[in-house]
Structure 1
Amino acid sequence: MTTTATAPEPTVDTVEIVPSFIRDSWWTPDAGAAAGAASVLDASTGELLAKVSTEGLDLAAVVDYGRTTGQAELGKLTFHQRALKLKELAQYLNGRREEFYVLSAQTGATKIDSMVDIDGGIGVLFTFGSKGRRELPNSQVIVDGPMEVLSKDGSFAGEHIYTRVPGVAVQINAFNFPVWGMLEKFAPAFIAGVPTIVKPATPTGYVTAAVVKAIIESGILPKGSLQLISGSVRTMLDHLDYRDIVAFTGSASTANTLKSHANVVKGGVRFTSETDSLNASILGPDAVKGTPEFDAFIKSLVTEMTAKAGQKCTSIRRAIVPQELVQDVVAAVGERIQERIVLGDPRAEGVNMGALASLEQLADVRAAVQSMLDAGGELAYGTLDSPKVTSADGTVGVVEDGAFMSPVLLSWADPEAEEVHSLEAFGPVSSVIGYTDLADAVRLAARGGGSLVASVCTNDPDVARELVTGIAAHHGRVHMLNREDARSSTGHGSPVPHLVHGGPGRAGGGEELGGIRSVLHHMQRTAIQGSPNMLTAVTGIWHTGADRNFTIETEGQHPFRKHLSTLHIGDAMQSGLREVTLDEITKFANSTGDTFYAHTNQAAAEANPFFPGIVAHGYLLLAWGAGLFVEPAPGPVLANYGLESLRFITPVAAGDSIRVTLTAKKITPRETDEYGEVAWDAVLTNQNDEIVATYDVLTLVEK
Structure 2
Amino acid sequence: MLQHDRLFIGGDWVAPAGTAMIDVVSPHTEEIIGRVPDGTPADMDAAVAAARQAFDNGPWPRMSMAERAETVGKLAGLYAARQAEMAEIITLEMGSPITFSQLAQAPQPLGMLQYYSELGKTFAVEDERPGMFGPVTVRREPVGVVAAVVPWNVPQFVIMTKLAPALIAGCTVVVKPAPETPLDSYLLAEMIKEAGIPDGVVNIVAAGREAGEHLVSHPGVDKVAFTGSTAAGRRIAGICGEQLKRCSLELGGKSAAIILDDCDLGAAMGFLSIASLMNNGQACVAQTRILASSSRYDEVLQAIADMVSAQPVGDPSEPTTGIGPMVAKRQQERVEGYIKLGIEEGAKPVVGGLDRPYDRGWYVAPTVFAGVTNDMRIAREEIFGPVLSVIEYDDEADAVRIANDSDYGLSGTVWTSDTDHGMDIARQVRTGTYGVNMMNTMEPSSPFGGYKASGIGRELGPEGLSSYLEYKSIARLG
**TM-score, reference length from structure 1:** 0.64
Whether the 8 Å contact between 2:309 and 2:351 is mirrored in structure 1 is no
Whether the 8 Å contact between 2:149 and 2:227 is mirrored in structure 1 is yes
Structure 1 residue 56: Cα displacement: 6.2
Deviations 1:153-183 (CA, angstroms, capped at 9, x unpaired): xxx2325332222x21111111011211111
Whether the 8 Å contact between 1:304 and 1:310 is mirrored in structure 2 is no
Residues 88 and 16 (structure 1), Cα distance of their counterparts in 2 relative to 1, 3 Å cut: closer
SS of equivalent residue, structure 1 residue 98:
helix
Structure 1 segment 544-693 matched on structure 2, within 5 A: none
Corresponding residue for residue 298 of structure 1:
269
- Cα distance in 1 between the residues matched to 2:374 and 2:328: 32
Structure 1 segment 121-520 matched on structure 2, within 5 A: 121-133=109-121, 135-137=122-124, 141-143=125-127, 147-151=129-133, 156-165=134-143, 167-216=144-193, 218-232=194-208, 233-240=212-219, 244-261=222-239, 264-287=240-263, 291=264, 294-339=265-310, 341-348=311-318, 350-387=320-357, 398-400=358-360, 402-413=361-372, 415-460=373-418, 463-471=421-429, 474-481=430-437, 491-492=438-439, 494-513=441-460, 515-520=461-466
- Cα distance in 1 between the residues matched to 2:90 and 2:470: 37
Structure 1 residue 59: Cα displacement: 2.3
SS of equivalent residue, structure 2 residue 471:
strand
- Cα distance in 2 between the residues matched to 1:40 and 1:297: 37
Structure 1 residue 296: Cα displacement: 3.7
- Cα distance in 2 between the residues matched to 1:461 and 1:184: 30
SS of equivalent residue, structure 1 residue 179:
helix
Amino acid at match of 1:118: A
Residues 34 and 325 (structure 1), Cα distance of their counterparts in 2 relative to 1, 3 Å cut: farther
Structure 1 residue 493: Cα displacement: 5.2
Residues 14 and 129 (structure 1), Cα distance of their counterparts in 2 relative to 1, 3 Å cut: same
- Cα distance in 2 between the residues matched to 1:372 and 1:34: 43
2:38 maps to 1:53? yes
Corresponding residue for residue 24 of structure 2:
40
Stretches of structure 1 lacking an aligned partner (at least 5 in a row): 1-12, 388-397, 482-490, 533-703
Whether the 8 Å contact between 1:305 and 1:407 is mirrored in structure 2 is no
Corresponding residue for residue 117 of structure 1:
105
Structure 1 residue 470: Cα displacement: 1.7
Whether the 8 Å contact between 1:240 and 1:269 is mirrored in structure 2 is no
Whether the 8 Å contact between 1:277 and 1:448 is mirrored in structure 2 is no
Deviations 1:454-496 (CA, angstroms, capped at 9, x unpaired): 112223356425422221xx20012112xxxxxxxxx415211
- Cα distance in 2 between the residues matched to 1:495 and 1:466: 20
- Cα distance in 1 between the residues matched to 2:178 and 2:335: 18
SS of equivalent residue, structure 1 residue 346:
coil
Corresponding residue for residue 74 of structure 1:
60
Indicate the percent of aligned positions where both proteins have the same amino acid.
Answer: 23
Amino acid at match of 2:40: E
Amino acid at match of 2:432: G
- Cα distance in 2 between the residues matched to 1:277 and 1:202: 22
Structure 1 residue 100: Cα displacement: 2.1
Deviations 1:347-403 (CA, angstroms, capped at 9, x unpaired): 33532322221222111111122223322322121122110xxxxxxxxxx242x11
- Cα distance in 2 between the residues matched to 1:319 and 1:193: 43
- Cα distance in 1 between the residues matched to 2:467 and 2:267: 35
Structure 1 residue 450: Cα displacement: 3.0
SS of equivalent residue, structure 1 residue 235:
helix
- Cα distance in 2 between the residues matched to 1:319 and 1:240: 45
Residues 447 and 56 (structure 1), Cα distance of their counterparts in 2 relative to 1, 3 Å cut: closer
Structure 1 segment 2-21 matched on structure 2, within 5 A: 14-15=2-3, 19-21=6-8
The worse-fitting range, judged by mean Cα deviation, of 111-120 and 368-377 is: 368-377
Whether the 8 Å contact between 1:73 and 1:224 is mirrored in structure 2 is no
Amino acid at match of 2:455: G
SS of equivalent residue, structure 1 residue 348:
coil
Structure 1 segment 18-37 matched on structure 2, within 5 A: 19-29=6-16, 33-35=18-20, 37=21
SS of equivalent residue, structure 1 residue 369:
helix
Write 1 or 2 for the structure with the bigger share of helix: 2
Whether the 8 Å contact between 1:380 and 1:410 is mirrored in structure 2 is yes
Stretches of structure 2 lacking an aligned partner (at least 5 in a row): none
**TM-score, reference length from structure 2:** 0.93
Deviations 1:634-689 (CA, angstroms, capped at 9, x unpaired): xxxxxxxxxxxxxxxxxxxxxxxxxxxxxxxxxxxxxxxxxxxxxxxxxxxxxxxx
SS of equivalent residue, structure 1 residue 234:
helix
Amino acid at match of 2:326: L
Corresponding residue for residue 83 of structure 1:
69
Amino acid at match of 2:370: S
Corresponding residue for residue 652 of structure 1:
none
- Cα distance in 2 between the residues matched to 1:329 and 1:199: 42
- Cα distance in 1 between the residues matched to 2:415 and 2:459: 25
- Cα distance in 2 between the residues matched to 1:422 and 1:416: 7
Residues 327 and 96 (structure 1), Cα distance of their counterparts in 2 relative to 1, 3 Å cut: same
Residues 493 and 466 (structure 1), Cα distance of their counterparts in 2 relative to 1, 3 Å cut: closer
Amino acid at match of 2:83: R
Deviations 1:81-130 (CA, angstroms, capped at 9, x unpaired): 11122221111111122322332221212222212111111111111112
Whether the 8 Å contact between 1:174 and 1:181 is mirrored in structure 2 is yes
- Cα distance in 2 between the residues matched to 1:370 and 1:142: 57
- Cα distance in 2 between the residues matched to 1:460 and 1:417: 30
Amino acid at match of 1:103: I
Structure number with greater CO (CA < 8 Å, separation at least 6) is: 2
- Cα distance in 1 between the residues matched to 2:61 and 2:420: 51
Q: 1:62 aligns with which of 31, 34, 47?
A: 47
- Cα distance in 1 between the residues matched to 2:219 and 2:55: 15
SS of equivalent residue, structure 2 residue 296:
helix
- Cα distance in 1 between the residues matched to 2:213 and 2:273: 37
Whether the 8 Å contact between 1:298 and 1:329 is mirrored in structure 2 is no
- Cα distance in 2 between the residues matched to 1:465 and 1:16: 49
Residues 16 and 161 (structure 1), Cα distance of their counterparts in 2 relative to 1, 3 Å cut: closer
Structure 1 residue 16: Cα displacement: 6.0
